[in-house]
Amino acid sequence: MSYISNAALGSMRLVSPIGEIQRSSVALAGRLHSLQGKSIGFIDNFKPGAAQFLHLIEEMMLEKFPGIKTHTVHKNFTSNVLIADELDGRVDAVVNAWGD
């Protein structure tokens, strides 16, 4: 924030629209050593082809890792709802469909 002062005009306070962001480092989740016996979550974002894509990936994973369990959640059209929270505590890894 800065101030500009001029005897004829008075003073004016300038505020940046960019703002300041508090940043903190967060470590990435560790890679699973194996998928055997793990639970995998799938997030379908309702984009065209997302459900079919995730279903294909799920089938491939179930074939390659027969002991896994899967859970699929479907994003609704409310952007402020955190759909990943539905998988919290239920899965060991997530496959998320992104894109248009």
Question: Hey, is 54 helix, strand or coil?
Answer: helix
Domain that holds residue 99: 37-100
Does some domain include residue 22?
A: no
48-68 confidence digits (pLDDT tens)? 888 888 999 999 999 999 999
Does some domain include residue 7?
A: no
Note whether 37 and 67 are within 8 A (CB): yes
Does some domain include residue 70?
A: yes
Give how many domains the chain has, as a whole number: 1
Does some domain include residue 47?
A: yes
Does some domain include residue 78?
A: yes
Does some domain include residue 16?
A: no
Does some domain include residue 6?
A: no
**Please, which residues bridge with residue 74 across strands?**
44
**Length of the chain in residues, anyone?**
100
What pLDDT, on the 0 to 100 scale, is given for residue 47? 83
What pLDDT, on the 0 to 100 scale, is given for residue 54? 92
Does some domain include residue 11?
A: no
5-20 confidence digits (pLDDT tens)? 566 667 777 777 887 7
